[in-house]
Amino acid sequence: VKALSGVISQTYRNLEIIVSDNNSAGDVKGALSAFKDSRIKSFRHDSELSMTENWNFCLKQATGDYFLLLSDDDQLVPEAVGTLVKVFLTGNTALSYGRAVFKGEAGGFLGLSRSAPPLESGEEFIKESLSGRRNALPSGTLFRTEAGRLLGGYPETGSSTDLALRLCLALQGTVAYSSVPILEYSIHPGGLTFDFAKAEEGFLKLADW
């Protein structure tokens, strides 16, 4: 509900909102009934997909020019999409992302994501990302839908799948960054952020890939 509220509140109104219910135990249908918005398209999977399969399902369903994958526990600020999309109107932008505010389980402030140049080459972004100096999160990153599809979508590299796709996209042009926070990103025990074993496995899969 929090994630959807943030999407519906976007000042950039020309949105298609795809909800992919990955066979969750919660009452997603009931939660969605509170939102009377014709832009919402909801899908439910009868058996649980892998994270990568679910993300690629969303990418396949999208009909808009641009794509942003929002996790269900994150929230965009009202100006987020408008901020991310405007840089695509000029230049050769391949990827646009913004700063995140990290929030704990109780909603407390934990810090900000790393800063970055407002514009950099794709090659520089790749180098800095692999060095751990870029925090481009799926929930705060926008790219051209067709570009993602032509690259085959999110690859099967475990928890590093979003990083793998970003690196490929970055080869196609420049990367833009907004220093104004556009996203509240939830960090909680049990999530991928704290699962170091899965993170290590994901990076090894990325290296092989």
CA distances from 124 to 44, 119, 167 (A): 39, 10, 10
Residue 194, SS3?
A: helix
Distance CA 124, CA 126 (A): 5
Task: Give the pLDDT confidence score for residue 105 in this predicted structure.
Answer: 83
Task: Give the pLDDT confidence score for residue 196 in this predicted structure.
Answer: 73
Cα angle 143-148-153, degrees, rounded to a multiple of 5? 135
Q: Give 10-residue mean pLDDT values along the chain (209 residues).
A: 95 97 90 92 95 96 97 96 95 96 90 96 97 95 97 93 96 97 86 69 86
Task: Give the pLDDT confidence score for residue 199 in this predicted structure.
Answer: 79
In sequence order, the β-bridge partners of residue 141 are: 97
**Half-sphere exposure of residue 119: CA atoms within 13 angstroms, side-chain side:** 9
Give kind and range of the element (H or E) at residue 125.
Answer: helix 122-130
Task: Give the pLDDT confidence score for residue 121 in this predicted structure.
Answer: 97
Task: Give the pLDDT confidence score for residue 60 in this predicted structure.
Answer: 97
Extract the tokens encoding 45.
Answer: 């999977």
The answer to whether residues 42 and 21 touch, using CB atoms and an 8 Å cutoff, is yes
What b/e string do you get for 44-80 counting C-beta neighbours within 10 Å, with b at 16 or more? eeeeeeebbebbbbbbeebeeebbbbbebbbbbbebb
pLDDT (tens digit, 9 = 90+) per residue, 153-176? 999 998 899 999 999 999 999 999
Task: Give the pLDDT confidence score for residue 186 in this predicted structure.
Answer: 92
